[in-house]
Amino acid sequence: MTLRAAVRSLRSQQVLQTVLGALRDSNRHSFRIVHYSIQSNHVHLIVEADSRASLSTGMRGLAVRLARRVNRLLFRRGRLWADRWHGQPLTSPRQVRNALVYVLQNHRKHAALVLGAKLDPLSSAEWFNGFAEPLPAGFRSIGPPLTRASRTWLLQYGWRRHGRIRLAEAPRRL
């Protein structure tokens, strides 16, 4: 899932904790944020939902929660999101692996944001156990763990059929 914002401040220190809190508070029993990456004007997510209705409700709730909190923090009104969320159903182990690389290594597409970093601290990389190499010494994702464990075979094990993710791997288009 991708949510594109009409503002370019999602990674700022002022806004970041608000975004992380909204992501954490959006997890439900039937809607789970499994991985995320926060960029300056968009958020990439890998989510699981028990049904189409749960997915729609969960994404709508997340978008509203984020918009209200960020708008309140920035003393602004109006639309935060540039458009509706964009989603791609993941149905094969290769698609899931590619999506994991895309989300967890997305900072490599935006190199000016995190120069020389192997991993992005504004992602769920710290809590991902599928990297081929150990995490760099001292690496920490910013904020407390806010993701939920996957319940599907594809996200837990299936994607590993195509190999663990290397720290130097760069994302391809989904």
Q: Using alpha carbons only, give the angle 101, 107, 112 rounded to the nearest 5 degrees.
A: 155
In a domain, 171, yes or no: no
Q: What is the CATH number of the domain that holds 33?
A: 3.30.70
In a domain, 172, yes or no: no
In a domain, 173, yes or no: no
d(CA 172, CA 101): 8
* Domain tally, the chain: 1
Q: What is the pTM of this model?
A: 0.90
**How much is the pLDDT for 118?**
82
- What tokens were used for 117? 């970093």
**How much is the pLDDT for 85?**
79
**How much is the pLDDT for 113?**
47
**How much is the pLDDT for 87?**
87
pLDDT tens digits for the chain (174 residues)?
999 998 888 999 889 999 999 999 999 999 999 999 999 899 999 999 999 999 999 999 999 999 999 999 999 998 888 877 788 899 999 999 999 999 999 888 765 444 556 899 999 999 999 999 999 999 999 988 889 999 999 999 999 999 999 999 988 765
In a domain, 89, yes or no: yes
d(CA 27, CA 21): 11
Residue-range definition of the domain harbouring residue 102:
2-162
In a domain, 170, yes or no: no
In a domain, 174, yes or no: no
In a domain, 90, yes or no: yes
In a domain, 168, yes or no: no
